[in-house]
Amino acid sequence: MSAQADVIIIGAGAAGLSAAYELTSLGISYRVIEGSHRIGGRAYSEEIAPGVWFDLGCSYLHQGDTNPFVTIADDLGVVIGKDKGDIFDDHNKGLHKNGAPLNPGERQAYFTYIEQCNAAIRAAAERGEDVAIADLVDLEHEYALPYLHSMAELNAADLDETSSVDFMAFKDGPDIPLLNGYGNLVAAWGANIPV
């Protein structure tokens, strides 16, 4: 590869690799610069026992109906858990309080709170109010902390930085686990990109 390039891509995570593939398709020269010893960025798998992979960053394909990595996995022959896309469905959530599982009444109270939060977000978005979700939900509720945690994890931002309109525009779908590691999928996908 020439030292000269039209574009310099900083980072060989999914976004950097995507940019490299797109530039290749357009015939534009590029160089990918990565500060780590590996490609993949937040997608990083380690083998913690023979044949047992653990993801240290992202660990499942969100929005599995439209996530392009589902097709990429299929094209590469990487087996993913399409039949396990319900990992975050309510009936699969293990909810605990003070070390003990929530009883049925507590579980119902938790999910009622979640629905109240979602209804408040939906109503604000439908009114065109692009406000932080933190301004719409009851942060004093007994189940606010687990809600804050799950929403921050889902949106990669705290609720005071998460837009009601953006959240409602977010498409839902199955959350598909990667049986042999998300990092391994990204590494296989990016193996042909010079970094």
Chain segment 94-149, per-residue pLDDT in tens: 898 899 999 999 999 999 999 999 999 999 999 999 999 999 999 999 999 999 98
Decide: pTM greater than 0.95: no
How far apart CA 136 and CA 3 sit, in angstroms, is: 52
Q: Give the pLDDT confidence of 37-76 residue by residue, as tens digits.
A: 999 999 999 999 999 999 998 888 988 888 999 999 999 9
